[in-house]
Amino acid sequence: MQIKDLPYQDPGEPDVRSGGRFLLWLGRSQLGGQVKAMGWGLLHQLGVAGLPLGVGMAVQAVVDRSGTRLALGAGLLVLMGIALALGDTMLHRVAVTNWITAAARVQQLLARRTAELGAALTRRVAAGEVVAVSTGDVEKIGWFVEALSRFAAAVLALVVVCVGLVVYQPALGVVVAIGVPALALAVLPLLPKATARADVQREKAGRATELASDTVAGLRVLRGIGGEELFLGRYREASQEVRKAAVRSARMWALIAAVQVLLPGLLLVGVVWYGASLARQGTVTVGELVTVYSAVTLLMYPLRHFEEIAMAYSFSKPSAKRAARVLALRRTAPGDGQEAAQYPTGDLYDPVTGLLAPSGVFTAVVCGDPDLAGRLAERLGGHPAGAEDDTEKVASVRLGGVALDELPLVAARASVLVQDKDPVLLSGTLRELLDVPASGKVSAEDALDAAQCTDVLAALAQASASGAGDGDPMETRITERGRSLSGGQRQRLALARSLVTDPEVLVLDEPTSAVDSHTEARVAAGVSRLRSGRTTVVLASSPLLLDQAERVVFVHDGEVAAVGEHRELLHTEPRYRAVVTRETDDEAEAGAESEAGAEIHELSARDAKAREEIEESA
């Protein structure tokens, strides 16, 4: 796989049972690139290891005054230099390609899971964690994939060099062959502690990232209540904890690096001392001693890869674990969207609450608990609330008798569209915002009119004209997340986008919470008119919206408690009235006493009238 061929046609189905299994799957998925990198790395390492042989031959040739062997040694040095340069260049090229392609594969997998889960993703995983996985964690995982092939090449080079030294000069070669593995394994006792400290650092860094993400998302609210300094202080404390943890982690890795320098140095001193004594005895020649000494010196380079792979694995495993945790989230059924799409029609039914939204009817749902309303909206979109917990299986919502989570994703999304209570507007022109997959039966103009976006269009037209545009609001660019618009304007544009889509079932979660009452009444009428004959479910407690609904369902304690029209439920269901009118317990009690008093007064009047009629007849 080359960088120019990205993105992948299919990034594959990862093994997400654990972080280690995910890394293993990722390595197997890029086996071809790993083998190439290992081959070029081996050429590079052997080029480095071959230099001492050329130097030793040249030194011995000078001692023996042999011009032929001196030329042979020089030729060997030139050959090793070419191998070293070629291997190093191609190793870097292939290794970086492995890094980038591995990171791209993980990012594609994350993007696919995000598209599949939609708004349900951030309900199951903190937004800060998703950001951390898609940025820093992806880089760490790619680093491990890149370092793995170079480490494998270094191990092979060490084996080849040690065997070669034993064959070339057994007396010194055996010492090197025993000492090098001991050096490579010397840092193993230190790795668990270093890994633990690195884990603490990453955990604290993740918390700081989540805090920063939440602070930025709620910056407007924080400014409104004067809470910037409070959250700034919290972030400052969190960042200081990250700094302290990073220093503790760095000390441990510094110790490992020191061991990697000290022990090879001791081995080198031992080889020189032992070799010098053998040379004085005439057991080895000067050239052989120079060769072994140079080889041991250059072996420090491949030994460095042991420290790097340990660090890469230590940092990448927790990152892979977090990535696997996000990638493990999925809809309850394995529908991949590639099957023949089925588009069911009919009544929408939630077996958990007992909610029934008849086909073609404008149904409003009132929940006393706002969190329950959010979970219900998510479930109506085919994402059961317990899907992330394998120990709890929640029955799926059914559309026309067909379970939504058993449908391919494309069919489920086309059948039921859920607009979250905090919808996101992407940057681009208004025309691009409304250019979404749709039935084609609802025009952008009709949707904007139903959502009461006249003032929004006027503001965009004015912005276009003042910005050297042609005054066309449809061509005016909307900033990221619609930050240049008010909350109510953003909400109405998002509603217009949902109306343009014209799905079989449209679920709206508090679509007018940021709109004034006069506009809200017109929006309610517009939605009711435009969606006439189409199944529409609105989760809200606004009387203006509820009055437009053909059918109102009251959900209390997670179950349907009453069904009827808005005005009817106001008089017959006290709990419904308390939620819709926001009356307190005292007000409800006073209202009940007033009603009881009125009934007593009416009964007394009837009784008095009856007595009068009896007396007259007597």
Predicted pLDDT at 530: 94
CB 542 within 8 A of CB 520: yes
Q: For residues 207 and 549, what is the distance between their CA atoms, to the nearest angstrom?
A: 44
pLDDT-derived band of residue 126, with 50, 70 and 90 as boundaries? low
CB 36 within 8 A of CB 94: yes
* 411/417: higher pLDDT: 417
pLDDT-derived band of residue 339, with 50, 70 and 90 as boundaries? very low
Q: For residues 481 and 137, what is the distance between their CA atoms, to the nearest angstrom?
A: 25
Which 3 state secondary structure label does DSSP give 603?
helix
Start-to-end CA span in the chain (Å): 108
CB 379 within 8 A of CB 354: no
Q: For residues 441 and 453, what is the distance between their CA atoms, to the nearest angstrom?
A: 19
Residue with structure tokens 């544009």?
Answer: 493
pLDDT-derived band of residue 302, with 50, 70 and 90 as boundaries? confident
CB 199 within 8 A of CB 115: no
Predicted pLDDT at 177: 84
pLDDT-derived band of residue 140, with 50, 70 and 90 as boundaries? confident
Q: Domain 3-327 belongs to what architecture? A: Up-down Bundle (1.20)
pTM confidence score:
0.60
User: Residue 554 CB: number of other CB atoms within 10 A?
Assistant: 23
Q: For residues 284 and 289, what is the distance between their CA atoms, to the nearest angstrom?
A: 7
Given a cut of 50, whether residue 336 has pLDDT beyond it is no
Phi-psi region of 351 (alpha: psi -120 to 50; beta: other; left: phi over 0): alpha
pLDDT-derived band of residue 340, with 50, 70 and 90 as boundaries? very low
CB 525 within 8 A of CB 553: no
DSSP 267-327: HHHHHHHHHHHHHHHTSS-HHHHHHHHHHHHHTHHHHHHHHHHHHHHHHHHHHHHHHHHHH
CB 353 within 8 A of CB 542: no
Given a cut of 90, whether residue 527 has pLDDT beyond it is yes
User: Residue 176 CB: number of other CB atoms within 10 A?
Assistant: 23
CB 158 within 8 A of CB 180: yes
- As a whole-number percent, the residues of the chain with pLDDT over 70 amount to 84
What mean pLDDT comes out for the span 66-70? Answer: 85
Residues for the chain: how many in total? Answer: 618
The pairing of beta strand 362-367 with beta strand 551-556: parallel
DSSP 453-466: -HHHHHHHHHHHHH
CB 37 within 8 A of CB 150: yes
Ordered by start, the domain boundaries in the chain are: 3-327, 340-419+503-582, 424-502
Listed residue (41, 27, 33) closest to 6, CA to CA: 33
Dihedral (C-alpha) 200, 201, 207, 209: value to the nearest 10 degrees?
Answer: -160
Predicted pLDDT at 335: 45
Stretch among 79-93, 423-437, 468-482, 501-515 having the lowest mean pLDDT:
468-482
Listed residue (269, 300, 275) closest to 287, CA to CA: 275
Listed residue (456, 497, 377, 305) closest to 118, CA to CA: 377
Listed residue (268, 355, 291) closest to 58, CA to CA: 291
Predicted pLDDT at 160: 84
Share the mean pLDDT of the chain. 81
Please report the sign of the dihedral spanned by the C-alpha atoms of residue 478, residue 480, residue 481, residue 482. Answer: negative
Listed residue (540, 579, 547) closest to 564, CA to CA: 547
Predicted pLDDT at 275: 83
Predicted pLDDT at 573: 92
CB 344 within 8 A of CB 402: yes
- As a whole-number percent, the residues of the chain with pLDDT over 90 amount to 18
Q: For residues 98 and 142, what is the distance between their CA atoms, to the nearest angstrom?
A: 7
Predicted pLDDT at 390: 43
Predicted pLDDT at 586: 55
Q: For residues 165 and 27, what is the distance between their CA atoms, to the nearest angstrom?
A: 33
What mean pLDDT comes out for the span 431-436? Answer: 88
Predicted pLDDT at 618: 44
Q: For residues 379 and 248, what is the distance between their CA atoms, to the nearest angstrom?
A: 45
Element at 264 (helix H, strand E): helix 228-281
Predicted pLDDT at 361: 94
> Cα 216 to the chain's mean position, in Å?
18
* pLDDT tens track for 162-177: 888 888 888 888 888 8
Listed residue (368, 355, 417, 354) closest to 540, CA to CA: 368
What backbone phi and psi angles, to 5 degrees, belong to 18?
A: -165, 165
Which 3 state secondary structure label does DSSP give 434?
coil
Q: For residues 92 and 499, what is the distance between their CA atoms, to the nearest angstrom?
A: 52
User: Residue 614 CB: number of other CB atoms within 10 A?
Assistant: 9
What mean pLDDT comes out for the span 19-27? Answer: 87
pLDDT-derived band of residue 308, with 50, 70 and 90 as boundaries? confident
Stretch among 430-434, 469-473, 571-575 having the lowest mean pLDDT:
469-473
Given a cut of 70, whether residue 293 has pLDDT beyond it is yes
Please report the sign of the dihedral spanned by the C-alpha atoms of residue 396, residue 399, residue 403, residue 406. Answer: negative
pLDDT-derived band of residue 603, with 50, 70 and 90 as boundaries? very low
* pLDDT tens track for 154-211: 888 888 888 888 888 888 888 888 888 887 778 778 878 887 887 788 778 777 877 7
Listed residue (544, 546, 234, 179) closest to 367, CA to CA: 546
Q: Are 340-419+503-582 and 424-502 equal in CATH topology?
A: yes
pLDDT-derived band of residue 214, with 50, 70 and 90 as boundaries? low
pLDDT-derived band of residue 592, with 50, 70 and 90 as boundaries? very low
CB 131 within 8 A of CB 206: no
* pLDDT tens track for 346-364: 999 999 999 999 999 999 9
Residues paired with residue 554 on neighbouring β-strands, in sequence order = 366, 562
Question: How many degrees, rounded to 5, is the angle at CA 11 between CA 95 and CA 394?
Answer: 135
Topology of the domain covering 340-419+503-582: Rossmann fold (3.40.50)
Q: What is the CATH number of domain 424-502?
A: 3.40.50.300
Predicted pLDDT at 388: 43
Most confident of the following: 18-27, 120-129, 327-336: 18-27
DSSP 364-419: EEEESSHHHHHHHHHHHTT--TTTT-TT--PPPPEETTEEGGGS-HHHHHHHEEEE
Given a cut of 60, whether residue 585 has pLDDT beyond it is no
The pairing of beta strand 416-419 with beta strand 362-367: unpaired
Predicted pLDDT at 546: 93
Element at 340 (helix H, strand E): none
Question: And the tokens for 205?
Answer: 């860094």
Question: How many degrees, rounded to 5, is the angle at CA 278 between CA 272 and CA 279?
Answer: 85
